Amino acid sequence: MRENGVEYRLGPALLSAADIRTRVRELARAISRDYAGRDLLLICVLKGAAIFWADLCRALRVPCQSDFVAMESYGDSTAPLGQPRFTKAADVSLAGRDVLLVEDIIDTGHTIARLRDLLQIQAPRSVALCALLDKAERREVPTPIEYCGFVIPNVFVVGYGLDYGQQYRHLPHIATLRPRHVA
């Protein structure tokens, strides 16, 4: 795929499928312990977090409901669009609920901060974040991540739900996407 005179190709795996499976189970154990006896609502941030959300749901040992929201940050580019766009709201009431946002990757923090602000309007009991990946060195907005899968370096990654131009979501592992300048 090409973007601004740069061709992007799949690079080496950053996280194996086995590493991801192990970490998802660990996160599920911690979430199950912390939310035992509470009214847990998982909110999956589409599209990138869908695979992570599905695996996390199956590993949880507490009852929960799920809903979906969509925020667009990148479009089909490797660079953020600017102001994140809210493209799908939750369909259930959040009032008085313990909400756990399930996100694929936290980068600058703008998207998740905007989403938290939008959700707080509905008066949930609590809002916490479970993110598979944290690109901490790119953070521009303080973003607490209560349940973090992996901290990764500042590289563009695809796989396990993350995409570039709607490609590579199907990969069972997380790989880097490497730029190659072309004439």
Domains and CATH numbers, the chain: 18-153 (3.40.50.2020)
147-151, strands of its sheet edge to edge: 85-88, 64-72, 40-46, 98-106, 126-134, 147-151
Tell me the pLDDT tens digit for each residue of 68-84: 999 776 555 555 556 66
How far apart CA 65 and CA 99 sit, in angstroms, is: 10
Question: What is the pLDDT at residue 75?
Answer: 53
Tell me if 53 sits within 8 A of 77, measured CB to CB.
no
> What is the average pLDDT score of the chain?
90
Tell me the pLDDT tens digit for each residue of 140-169: 999 999 999 999 999 999 999 999 989 999
Question: What is the pLDDT at residue 81?
Answer: 56
* HSE value, Cβ hemisphere, 13 Å, CA-based, for 176: 11
What does pTM read for this prediction? Answer: 0.89
With a cut of 70, say whether residue 117 has pLDDT above it. Answer: yes
Give the pLDDT band (50/70/90) at residue 27: very high
| Residues catalogued as catalytic | 107
